[in-house]
Structure 1
Amino acid sequence: MASNSPAPEGIEIQEPPTAGAWGEWNPTEDTVRPVRGKHRVAKQRGGLARSSTVLGVGVIAAVGASGIATAQDRPQVAISLPSLPGLVTGDNDRQGDGASGQEAEGERGGTIGIIAQQADRGADPGELLRNRILQQADAQHEAAEAKARAEAERAAQVASAQEAKDKLEAARQAAEEAKAQAEAKAAQEAEAARKAAEAAAAQERPAAAAGSWSLPTSAYTLTSHYGASGSMWSSGHHTGLDFAAPTGTPVKAVGAGKITSAGWSGAYGYRIVLQLEDGTEVWYCHLSSMSVTSGSVGSGDTIGRVGATGNVTGPHLHLEVRKGGSTMDPLAWLESKGLDV
């Protein structure tokens, strides 16, 4: 609050100009000057502060009066609102669309001009502005929804593409696994076939070769030896060596020679007679089939198959070794050739 204390002695205060002739007034040495002559007194302590207070009150009053006068003299400022598309009239008809709407806005100045036109026709300006704002909000809401739908569709497309990619990758992996399984199965079958071929070749080869000699068959069991007695043999004793084996087991030539006889021979069933180079005869009896019936053969060649023809109790090879018309022990003879029977 400004103080109403009197001005200190020695200071002359000029009156401010009237409101009609007002200008910017700033206290200076010319407006505030000491009194000349015998009335000059010494400055009292604290006087400057009281003078400043009084001057401040005067300045504020002067500025206020000047501001009021200036505001009254200044021209009015035009205020315009942004043009909002789609203004509706009192009967909800859209305005501002097409050439006619553009011409109206151009004539009256945007939204304010359109509202003014509608107001001239008796519509409520506040209601018109509210409707136009609501339309703009609806348009923004629809735009946001359209954007959200577009983003959702784009996300769905991305997800669909990723799903298709995943399915394609799964199908590729399944195809690779199926291919690997097929290759493994084919390899196993090939290995089994190779082993079977090797087994068949082993049967075709001499079962136990020693030099140029071969065992008469393979996978066998010796059942009846030479000289065994019994009523099953017409001579009262066994004249050969029996190799029990499954029907169809290959029968080999024990050495190089030639086939001198092949055919049915009574109690011997189907028989092949192999004559070796030194004149020794080897009889192969009870055969199921004969592969070679004449001509020369080499050691280990297949000449027939084990069977059960003739006077037998089961499939086996009855092997006899004869020299000079007399039989000899086939086991001893084979072992003399270096064969492990």
Structure 2
Amino acid sequence: MASNRPAPQGAYVPNDDDFGGYDDNSWEEWNPTEESIRPVRGRHRVHKRGGGGLARSSTVLGVGVIAAVGAGGIATAQGGKPPVAIEMPDLSAVTDSLPEAKSLPGVGSLISDDSSDATSADDGVTVAAAPLSAAGISTADAEQGTTDAGEALRARIMEQAENQQDQADDAVQKAAEEAAVKQAAAQAAAEQTAAEKKIAAEKAAAKKKAEAEAKRKAEAERLAKLAKSYTLPVASYTLTGTFGQPGSMWSSGYHTGLDFAAPTGTPIKAIHSGTIKEAGWAGAYGYRTVLELDDGTEIWFCHQSSMSVSVGQKVTTGETIGRVGATGNVTGAHLHLEIHPGGDSTGVDPAAWLRGKGQSI
């Protein structure tokens, strides 16, 4: 064990003759020396055991304990308090396996084989001379001029905090940049979608317009073809009665056909190719010819003065089938024309039907 040498105390011998009951000559004389009154500051005595190798190993462990105590800030003895005794175990069995003290991190700078790093006391103990306050100081701290362990620890903590703050700032900046990139990408995608929709709408409108134009042209071509296969019943005429016109002179209460006024004997032509279904007298209609088309539509030619076809006869577009007259219930010479799709008794407007076949009325 290592401890300071206590001051000698004299034996107490009471003497009535002396003041206070003490014998001044009974105290043992004690002469303090520099070694006996030196305070323990960073030095712990280590007993030498079994030569230099074991002493060095013991010193290594002792220095490790000193470094641990120094890092905690409680190694310095103050106020004359008694030192703490430290017993070192016998490590002779593991001496050879221990590493050199100088190879240990943070300890090599505390130990040296030179006489300046260690001193020998009168009682044969080796005293480590490295200050405890430098136990937690790294080489980088020493190069920067930091010689206080607490200040070095504070500097490291501050540096770590700054590094963490920088990392946090970098993370925030990176997140903001990523958010900006995402927002820009979303805006670009929205603009692209809007542009695509606009282009699609323009294409659809152009397509619709083109389809309408194509449809109009197709209809014009169809009517042109129909115009070649259809014709008006008379070449020169005046319309004197229209379809649906009301009047008391018609038994149904309204006009059921279209009247083409023309001089008697004006040729009546077949509007389209077909077969003669009827040809003869029909009461109020006078002489009537019924032409049936391939789709079943019946065309009635009424009030004729004469007929030039017979039932079952095939006729072509523009072929003369009769002549204008004033037979039946009439007030003048004219052709009364009726259109009955599918042979129905109720007819449709002949003017609209003729226009649908490419004829101008």
Q: In which range does the TM-score fall when normalised by the shorter chain?
A: 0.3 to 0.5
Q: TM-score, with normalisation over the residues of structure 2?
A: 0.36
- Structure 1 length as normaliser, TM-score? 0.39
